[in-house]
Amino acid sequence: MNLNLQNKSINEEQIIKYKQMNPDKNIPFLTIDWTNIPKTEHKGETGIAYWQTVQLPGLRIRLVEYPKDYVADHWCQKGHIVHCLEGEFVSELQNGEKTTFTNGMTYVVTDNLSSHRSSTKNGVKLMIIDGDFLKQE
């Protein structure tokens, strides 16, 4: 895993040290080269999602790809900022309400304010950000 911190390339061990040295969650200027972040597989009800994740204290940033005909395998209660980078997906609320998102569209929700899940017919690439700042007060 390679990130640049104040124009210095750091590795995973250095990220752990950075987290220990910055428990107050302050983030200095940080660049992420997503080509160096490994993909992990997450099985859906149908299809497999691929996540590239950067985890910092109180903040998680992900590039997420859902393949054609993907449906999430659970109702999520977590707060997110979800931005559609490529493709189209549907965010379904547990009450049955559905919203379609296309390139350039975003939604924001706080923890525990809605049960939601995603699906896509033709595949989609998303940036998903979540963290302590989305906890319900």
DSSP the chain: --EEETTEEE-HHHHHHHHHH-TT----SEEE-GGGSPEEEEE-SBSEEEEEEEEETTEEEEEEEE-TTEE-SS-B---EEEEEEEEEEEEEETTS-EEEEETT-EEEE-TTS--EEEEESS-EEEEEEEEGGGS--
Dig out the tokens for 128 from the structure: 């998903």
User: Are 114 and 98 a contacting pair, CB within 8 Å?
Assistant: no
Q: Evaluate whether the domain defined by 39-134 bears CATH number 3.40.50.1820.
A: no
pLDDT (tens, 9 = 90+) of the chain, 137 residues, equals 344 444 444 455 656 666 666 666 677 777 888 888 899 999 999 999 999 998 888 889 999 999 999 999 999 999 999 999 999 999 999 999 999 999 999 999 998 888 999 999 999 999 999 998 888 77
What is the structure's pLDDT at 136?
Answer: 79
What is the structure's pLDDT at 81?
Answer: 95
What is the structure's pLDDT at 69?
Answer: 98
What is the structure's pLDDT at 39?
Answer: 95
Residue ranges per structural domain of the chain: 1-37, 39-134
